[in-house]
Homo-oligomer: A and B are copies of this chain.
Amino acid sequence: MALKKRNLSATEQILEALEERGYRSTAPRRTLAAAIGVQKRHFTAEGLRRQLPPTLGRATVYRTLKLLVEAGVLCRVMLEDGDLHYQLSHRGHHHHLLCVLCGSSQDLTGCDIEDLLAATSARHGFELSGHWLEVYGHCRDCIQNGRAAA
């Protein structure tokens, strides 16, 4: 669903997602979409704000980020230190491999963790309704470049 239309830029796709949901196209939202579309990795609300004209209200930044998460355009990424970041989401529900050395993230695929959790929960008499998972470590790049050396 989100970001499926590969012929559109990230910025355009963000705006389209808002439009599809009946939100109005405003100058602040266009500015935000452009700023988000340009991010090369996950970012914080305040970090994003620093790249925006200071005339753009703080509340608007937070409001729009929440909107975009609800719309499935952005996903939240919890860093190991508790910092909440955002990044473009390509899928519905999924998880991340977060490199603690370079800060990169990749989506965790080919992992049937949902099934494992469902089965294990059931064994506890527990009916699963949701979960939260982040995985931290060293990415291939950092390992090869020796950044992971002790």
A-to-B contact residues, CB < 8 Å: 78, 80, 97, 99-100, 106, 108-113, 116-117, 120-121, 123-140, 143, 148
Most B-side CB within 10 Å, residue of A80, A109, A111 = A111
Looking at A106, A111, A113, A127, the one whose CB has the most chain B CB atoms below 10 A away is A127
Known: A97-B121, A110-B123, A116-B116. A128 touches B137 (CB 8 A): yes
Instruction: Determine if A133 and B132 form an interchain contact, defined as CB atoms under 8 angstroms apart.
Output: yes
Residue of B nearest to A97 (CB): B126
Min CB distance A64 to B, Å, is: 19
| Nearest CB in chain B to that of A79: its residue | B132
Chain B residue numbers with a CB within 8 Å of A125 are: 139-140, 143
Chain B residues with CB under 8 A of A100:
129-130
Once the chains bind, are A129 and B124 in contact (CB under 8 Å)? no
Q: Is the CB of A131 within 8 A of B134?
A: yes
Residues of B within 8 Å of A131, CB to CB, are: 133-136
Q: A126 and B130 in contact (CB under 8 A), knowing A111-B116, A111-B120?
A: no
